[in-house]
Structure 1
Amino acid sequence: MTAHDPALPDHLASLRGQWIEGIAVDADRTRLVTSRGAVLHGPAEPGGASWIGGDGLSKDDGRLLGAVVTATTLAPEGVLTLVLADADGNDPLLVAIRAPWVLALPRGAGLAARADGRIDVREGSGPVHATAEAMGAWTESEPCAVERAVLEAAEDDWVSPGDVVSALLRAGVSTDEEIARQGIAVLSRLLARGDLEAGWIEEEGFRPAEGAPADVIEHVATVWHALAGIGRRPGPGQIAWFRIPESAGGSDSAGDPDGVGVSAGF
């Protein structure tokens, strides 16, 4: 498809309001991961004082981590520019990725800019992780030792994917690939069975996610998979927070988990 495809502006607009969760820089290629698991992969374009690009962009750049995408622009030659705002309200930062680049979006959607600036558009094809077959298997599963350890931790406080990583490490899982694969599976089973519910933290306490379990699992798996793709393990406050449902004795209030105050919704 071409840049005239009606899905193009929708795909770009979906980035707005997301923040940067991870950054990797390899040779002349940059990979950005957003809070909903979008992955932008391409060469950064140097620019002026408000621009971050070229040699000015580094692995897990502190200027970008947590910065929110407020706008996007696409130039005729295929340069995609993200306008970012940080939490301190400083001047906007601009990150430009020149063609060729690839933007992978949740549920199989995406964009790709060719070297000549032409844009290919791919529509989403439905759940990639939380398929009906997978949901059925997860719902009927029995808790494993790692899942029981996560539930034990959740009896005292809210938990995050970082707690799952810690439980896997204690169980002897050591490679990043296996931690990602098993971590996604652990949270998927816990959520599908209703042992945990996902949400985020506001000043009033824990706010459960409003989506169906399959949608929540798809989000969790998508973001974790995207972070794993740049060699990152999710930590406290990333992806989502989790608690035992109130119907099973969970609480909507707890201490400040791992020093992280508020985690916005997904």
Structure 2
Amino acid sequence: MRSFLSGLSGHHQGRRPALLEELRGQTILHTRVAARGTWTVTARGWVLHSRIQQVEGPGRDGIAASAVDLRDPRLVGAALQGAELLPDGQLHLFLQGAEGPLRLSTVPRWQLEGPRGALLRAEERGEISQLPPGPPVHAAPEQLAEHAASARSGIEDRLLAQGRDEWLHPGHVVTVLANAGALEDEEFERRGPVLLARMLARGELRAGFVTAGRFRAWDMPLAEVVEHIGTTWTALGGRTPGPDMIAWFELTRAGREALGPRSELTMPPGMSGYDSPGVVGGFR
């Protein structure tokens, strides 16, 4: 227990590549477990993927360790305070959870993926490789220009109509895409961020937080907002994003002015989606 607690206090003896330092201060947003391994996702879109991950922290009988679960309540919302990379490639992440200090551990092979293609990887024998962040993936200037010049789709009209009376979150986007016929996780992951990017670039939505019953818009450049949305949605995967994930959205004056009557609003679900990017099926 002594070594565990001393690790949490920041006295780490292992290697700490620069990319690990990017994790400090982030919170855990989601965990998922499948046949191909375990994924731990942060609120800024960093993803730790490995075969199995163990979380160690306070339990009824002192310090207890067990495998990470789906949406693990011990980890979701916990704040990352530090990291330790041992010579054999083992990785420890130190967190502060609701019940006390935690340590998340994994052995090689593992990889940590970050925004704009950043990558830190440990191979079976502990060899470490890393790639620094590259150019924008979701918010290159030409992408933003295309989004700003786009025409609203029927799906986007429906989302605007829903935002007339409530703040929007990614779960609303998942719902309108599902109602328009989206089926596969890859489709939600591809179309969801683009739909939001188009509406943000046209000035119909603003992104921010909802705290204490108030919407607080982010003071960030459009490119940073769009890159964050695309990165974090991809990290979460498919139709997972929901309230308090990624961002909240509020209609702007331009968004409210766009809510005039349009024929698409009266069409059956799915039909107005054919003028939206990444349309379902092989008909376009």
TM-score, structure 1 normalization: 0.82
Return closer, same or farther for 1:203/1:27 CA change in 2, 3 Å cut-off.
same
2:94 aligned with 1:83, yes or no? Answer: yes
Matched letter for residue 43 of structure 1: R
Return closer, same or farther for 1:172/1:52 CA change in 2, 3 Å cut-off.
farther
Aligned to 1:12: 20
2:217 aligned with 1:208, yes or no? Answer: yes
Q: Classify the secondary structure of the residue corresponding to 1:174.
A: coil
Q: Distance in 1 between matches of 2:147 and 2:55?
A: 48
Aligned to 1:24: 32
Aligned length: 238
Aligned to 1:122: 131
Q: CA RMSD in A?
A: 2.3
Aligned to 2:10: none
Return closer, same or farther for 1:31/1:136 CA change in 2, 3 Å cut-off.
same
2:140 aligned with 1:131, yes or no? Answer: yes
Return closer, same or farther for 1:130/1:116 CA change in 2, 3 Å cut-off.
same
Aligned to 1:217: 226
Q: Is the 8 A contact 1:109 1:123 kept in 2?
A: yes
Q: Per-residue displacement from partner, 1:232-252 (whole Å, max 9, x unpaired)?
A: 5201111000001367669xx
Q: Distance in 2 between matches of 1:240 and 1:20?
A: 15
Return closer, same or farther for 1:46/1:216 CA change in 2, 3 Å cut-off.
closer
Q: Is the 8 A contact 2:56 2:104 kept in 1?
A: no
2:249 aligned with 1:242, yes or no? Answer: yes
Q: Is the 8 A contact 1:198 1:209 kept in 2?
A: yes
TM-score, structure 2 normalization: 0.77
Deviation at 1:64, TM superposition (A): 1.4
Return closer, same or farther for 1:29/1:180 CA change in 2, 3 Å cut-off.
closer
Which of 178, 188, 191 is the matching residue for 2:197? 188
Q: Classify the secondary structure of the residue corresponding to 1:24.
A: strand
Of 36-45 and 147-156, the range deviating more from structure 2: 36-45
Q: Is the 8 A contact 1:199 1:206 kept in 2?
A: yes
Q: Distance in 1 between matches of 2:165 and 2:53?
A: 47
**Is there any run of 5+ residues in structure 2 with no aligned partner, and where?**
1-15, 258-284
Aligned to 1:255: none
Which of 159, 162, 172 is the matching residue for 1:163? 172
Q: Is the 8 A contact 2:204 2:253 kept in 1?
A: no
2:121 aligned with 1:112, yes or no? Answer: yes
Matched letter for residue 225 of structure 1: T
Deviation at 1:47, TM superposition (A): 7.6
Q: Distance in 1 between matches of 2:64 and 2:44?
A: 22
**Is there any run of 5+ residues in structure 1 with no aligned partner, and where?**
1-7, 251-266
Which of 28, 44, 48 is the matching residue for 2:52? 44
Q: Is the 8 A contact 1:84 1:94 kept in 2?
A: yes
Q: Is the 8 A contact 1:52 1:93 kept in 2?
A: no
Q: Per-residue displacement from partner, 1:188-228 (whole Å, max 9, x unpaired)?
A: 10111111010112337222112111110000011111111
Aligned to 1:65: 76
